[in-house]
Amino acid sequence: MLRGFATISYWADDLEAAKDWYAELLGVQPYFSAPGPDGRAGYYEFRVGDYRHELGLIDSRFRPGGPAAGPGGAVMFWHVDDLAGAVERLLSLGAVTYEKITERGEGFVTASVVDPFGNVLGVMHNAHYLEVLAAGPRG
């Protein structure tokens, strides 16, 4: 039923600032954008990582149920080769620690930050990800 991660969406009150922040973090500009119903920018999308997963940034005015009171909910973890370096880079760009670097078991280390727009961004060194990557698509 679930074929794979397609898109993760992050919300931002200042969509242009979020676009610029993620472009700086990722080293690429969004490949897709769409206006909201009022014609102003409403959505930006980046392709990220080995499988070109999608990271979408959505203007908070389109958040279902209204604005959130703070970070929370599910945490999407992105695999990184250098966890400490990734966390250092995120913090240098203005993110704040949500959960410090934590050993989860052999081959699994995680950390998470809150981006300047209130979204939780997880990073992880994951031995299973590396196995899947080495095996290739549907390996």
pLDDT in tens, 105-125: 888 999 999 999 999 999 999
| Domain extent listing, the chain | 1-61, 71-139
Confidence (pLDDT) at 34: 94
Confidence (pLDDT) at 37: 85
User: pLDDT tens-digit profile of 8-46?
Assistant: 999 999 999 999 999 999 999 999 999 988 899 999 999
Instruction: Yes or no: say if 59 and 17 are a contact pair by the CB < 8 Å rule.
Output: no
User: Residue written as tokens 């999308």?
Assistant: 45
Under CATH, domain 71-139 is a member of which superfamily?
Answer: 2,3-Dihydroxybiphenyl 1,2-Dioxygenase, domain 1 (3.10.180.10)
Confidence (pLDDT) at 59: 94
Name the helix (H) or strand (E) containing 23.
helix 15-26
Domain 1-61 shares a fold with domain 71-139? yes
Confidence (pLDDT) at 5: 81
Confidence (pLDDT) at 107: 84
Does position 67 have pLDDT exceeding 70, yes or no? no
123: which 2 tokens?
Answer: 């990073």
- CA dihedral over 72, 77, 80, 82, signed as positive or negative: positive
CATH of 1-61, one of 1.10.3720.10, 3.40.50.720, 3.10.180.10, 1.10.260.40: 3.10.180.10
Q: DSSP secondary structure string, 71-105? A: S-S--PEEE-S-HHHHHHHHHHTT-EEEEEEEEEE
Q: Given 3-state DSSP classes, what are the helix, strand and coil percentages for the chain, each rounded to the nearest 5?
A: 25, 35, 40
pLDDT band for position 71 (50/70/90)? Answer: confident
Q: How far apart are CA 116 and CA 106, in angstroms?
A: 31
